[in-house]
Amino acid sequence: MDDNDATTMRAVVLSGPGPVENLELTRRPRPEPAPGWVRVRVEAAGLNRSELHTRLGLAEGVTFPRVPGIEATGTVDLDPDGILEPGRQVVAMMGGMGRTYDGGYAEYTVVPRAQLVPFRSDLPWETLGAVPETLQTAYGSLTTGLDLRPGQALLIRGGTSALGFAATALAKEIGATVLATTRGADRLAVLKEHGVDHPLVDDGRVAAQVRALLPQGVDAALELVGTPTLPDTLRAVRVHGTVCFTGMLSNQWTVPDFYPIGYLPSGVRLTAYSGDAADLPAEVLQRFLDTMAAGGLSLGPVHVYPLEQVRAAHRDLEEGNRVGKLVLRTQPAPDPVSDPVSDPASASAR
């Protein structure tokens, strides 16, 4: 296909489960939307653990070859029903993106209209691309999952992940006191700079550190690492407090031989959160983008890769080489984009 052909696009295709070499940048025809679907010109696509799980063969219901990506940020290119005007800024997420139909690792993608959330913002695409799925998950975890209230204390297990930074920002806006963990003492300052009140080194015994600060335990905890740390996280929470299981940075999410009475501390509640585009109201997205533009909110560091570097991005995602959110710039940027995090000592996935 001609690289300049307006009917084609660049897209990253995952041929099947396996190493990063299974991700290949190719040219393919631009997808045509059916009624009820919308074609989006993708400007940026955030990377998520979900896509790593897909590449490693851990996700269910995925067919190959597949363009990965459970989220995308860009503009409406074509709505065959004429409901959304061309050029309208939108984010797309979930609903089978990158699993049962092609996702955001491409210059164009086609998604059901229900998976789109419109917005208006002058923020750079690299910044906007880091927001949708991270904000949706953090917002849903703190509201639906934890019902976090002003004045409460929140523990975030996995604080230097993109989701950890987002949860910190939203929890501080709610008015909570935030404790958050990292595996390296050299990353405590990064947590402090992004609003964490009590950064903690995760030595596997975080509950003891929490109770040294708050003898009764925290009111709420957000588990982002997975089942290996969940028992210790549960022990950090007060009676009638709540733990929300949201993330799986460890790639472990099942509990073998689960015996509730022996596993759960008396009176501590365990919930979970997994959301969709409908769980991020347009007014919530707009409000947070406006707050970010005014300098009143940061969702943490962002690391940008051109589409040609998708393998390097996935390698960094898998090996935990970065703090914060990884974003693919799917359209050629007019100018080189600098990485806002330059300190190599701050690199980590959690």
Give the span between the Cα atoms of 202 and 156, in whole angstroms.
11
Query: Taking residues 140-156, what's their average pLDDT?
Result: 98
Give the span between the Cα atoms of 294 and 273, in whole angstroms.
29
Q: Write out the H or E segment, with its range, that includes residue 235.
A: helix 230-235
In this predicted model, which residue has the larger pLDDT, 92 or 332? 92
pLDDT band at 4 (very low <50, low <70, confident <90, very high): low
Query: Taking residues 295-300, what's their average pLDDT?
Result: 86
Q: Would you state the structure tokens that stand for residue 78, as one six-digit string?
A: 């074509």
How high is the mean pLDDT of the chain?
A: 92
Q: Is the pLDDT of residue 334 over 60?
A: no
- Supply the pLDDT for residue 6: 83
Which stretches of 78-228 are DSSP H helices?
A: 125-128, 132-140, 162-174, 188-193, 206-213
pLDDT band at 253 (very low <50, low <70, confident <90, very high): confident
Judge contact between 151 and 175, C-beta under 8 A: yes
115-144 pLDDT, tens digit each? 999 999 999 999 999 999 999 999 999 999
Exposed (0-12), middle (13-18) or buried (19+): which is 309, by Cβ within 10 Å? middle
- Supply the pLDDT for residue 248: 83
Query: Taking residues 25-44, what's their average pLDDT?
Result: 97
Judge contact between 100 and 69, C-beta under 8 A: no
Enumerate residues 6+ apart whose C-beta is below 8 A from 343.
Answer: none
Query: Taking residues 210-215, what's their average pLDDT?
Result: 98
> Which residue in this structure is represented by tokens 């930074």?
165
Give the residues across from 92 on adjacent strands. Answer: 72, 116
Q: Is the dihedral of CA 169, 170, 172, 177 positive or negative?
A: negative
pTM here is 0.88
Q: Is the pLDDT of residue 290 over 90?
A: yes
